[in-house]
Structures are given as C-alpha cells and as structure tokens.
Amino acid sequence: MVTGGAGYVGSAVAARLLAAGHRVTVLDDLSTGHRAAVPAGAEFVEARVQDLTAPDAPLRLAGAGGGPPRFDGVLHFAAFSQVGESVADPEKYWRNNVGGTMELLTALRASGVRRLVFSSTAACYGEPESIPVTETGRTAPTSPYGASKLAVDQMIAGECAAHGLAAVSLRYFNVAGAHRAPGGTLHGERHDPESHLIPLVLQVALGRRESVAVYGEDYPTPDGTCVRDYIHVSDLAEAHLLALESAVPGEHLVCNLGNGNGFSVREVIETVRRVTGRPVPVRAAPRRPGDPAVLVASAERARHRLGWKPARPELAGIVADAWEFARRPAGDGPADGTGA
C-alpha cells in the first residue's frame, strides 16, 4: 500500500513498485494530489489514512474476520509539506502529519502488517551544525512541518521497539526531475503553489513567470548563493524499494538520501538556461530567515545498509527530465500536488 500515492514522489514510487512486479494499492484523499498521477495498474482508494481505523474503513488491511494481512508492506507519503503554510497553520500539520500517522500505525498493528517505509525529510535537521549532514547530527527543525516529520520518526521508533515493526525512514534533501515509467509515462513535479527552485526556474523559461528571485547573494559559498543537494526522483524511488526489502523487525533505520554534492542557486539557473536554450531573468532579493548557506547530505548509511547509490547524479540530467515534464500542458499526464 502506498499512502499519498497520487503525489509526486508517491506516484513515482508506486510506478517503480509496479515495474518490479508488486501489486500496489494507492490510498490518497486527493486534497493536494491528482487522480491522473496514480499509475495504471494500481488499485486506487480515495480516502485518508485517518479513515483506516474507522468502523466503516474504506480499506481493510487484513482479511475479513481478522484474517491474514492483505499487504506485506506500507510506504507512507501522505503528508502536508509546505513550510510556510506550516508556520501559519501549525495545527493543520500536527493533525494530519502526526495524527494521521498515529492512526496508520494503529491500523498496521491491528492488521499484522509489519513493514513500513516512511517519507521523512531533511527539514528534521533544521540548520545543521556540520556539513555533510549525517543521521547522527542534531535534529532541530525550524518549522512545524519539520517538527511534525521528526515527531513521526520518533513515534515509529517507539512502535518498532514496543511492537516489533520493521521500519525505515528516508530523509530526503531536494528531490527533482521526473520519473519515466515503462511505456514512457512521466511522473513529475507540479505543486500549487510552487516553492521548489528547479520547477520555479523552469516556469520562467516557459514564460509563466517574469523572473526568478535569488534570495541572498552574499553567502560564504563560491558564488555567494545557497548550495543545495539535489536528488533525482527515480533514484529516490529505487531507494524506497531497497528500504522495503532491508527493513528489520524491531529496528527503526533512518537514512539520508542525497547525492553528496551541492549545486548553488546560480548553478541551477545556468543549467536551466543551457538545457532549455531560453533566457531566465533573475532578480536579487534579501536573504530569507533560516536559510543555511549549504545543505548537503551524507548518504553513506544508505549506501551501506540499503545498497543504494544514485544512478542519475548529474544536475543537467535532472533538469532535462524536469523540463520535459514541465512542457506538458497542465493536467496532461501524471502531476503532483503533494510532497514529502
């Protein structure tokens, strides 16, 4: 079962699971996701994870009369993910991200489903004390969004210790690009509102925005702009399959996912110009509070424990795939409204 499987990352993972021969059920309430993003071949149930413990639950995780589990694992993406919104409306994030996951864990325990892969986030770390960021680094989220994800990680750890759940939390850094499923279907990124750099710059290249803002040009980096770690969504999808296979009963494993290399805001903009062949006007803007100069992941634990290594680390390739998806008309093919 893939919760939030009508979103960007969730739909890409669902498509990869299907390609690997799994039977997949997508659970999504479509509050921010899109029905068209659910890959062909997956069963779709329109519902919230909170509904799984209701007497009239729209989806049963176990067979009738307390029979064996219907699923051998759950990949959990159903969450709100806008940092700014979480600051303005924190209760929405606690209620959905934390409360929803609590109901999911209850349903997993009651049904006997014993494997979970959780879509966590680098926002758990806040402003890191050292680079590259490791899983043993300080966790000090700077937004209710990051705090809600960290709280879920802690809930899962307790569930593993007390009840033997096998769980892996994957903390992403910056996910981008588009996943190509067998047959050529692209699963790409289309948020509303959009807040991620690569799709924002691509919107400028498409003429949908006049310019892209560069927030701060005086950081202690080679070109003065922030440096971030970008990972291709297809590499991310592969990590989820490996995590599902690697989960150990009673253990909560936390792994960072990133390329281990950083690209500055200016490098991203220049790469978009080269890939698209179009101008990208830039406007300078003040620094945003809480923006670290550099955020780069150490993914050594994922390499060691999951056997995972990014296959598409080049920024130009990530941008090219995102560009192919961005040129499609809105509503044409799988699109995303959720993130992780």
| C-alpha atoms less than 13 angstroms from C-alpha of 211 in its C-beta half-sphere | 8
Read off the DSSP letter of residue 138.
P
Run of H or E residues at 140: none
Q: Torsions phi, psi of 186, nearest 5? A: -100, 135
Read off the DSSP letter of residue 155.
H
Which residues are the active-site residues? 145
Q: How far is 117 from 76, CA to CA, in rounded Å? A: 6
203-209-211 Cα angle (round to 5): 100
Nearest of 27, 28, 25 to residue 72 by alpha carbon: 25
Longest dimension (CA), the chain: 64
- Contact of 158 with 116, CB cutoff 8 Å: no
Measured in whole angstroms, the distance separating CA 205 from the mean position of its chain's CA atoms is 25
- Residue 255 forms beta bridges with which residues? 170
> Which alpha helices (H) appear in the chain, and where do they start and end?
8-19, 83-88, 90-93, 99-111, 144-163, 197-205, 233-246, 265-276, 300-301, 315-326
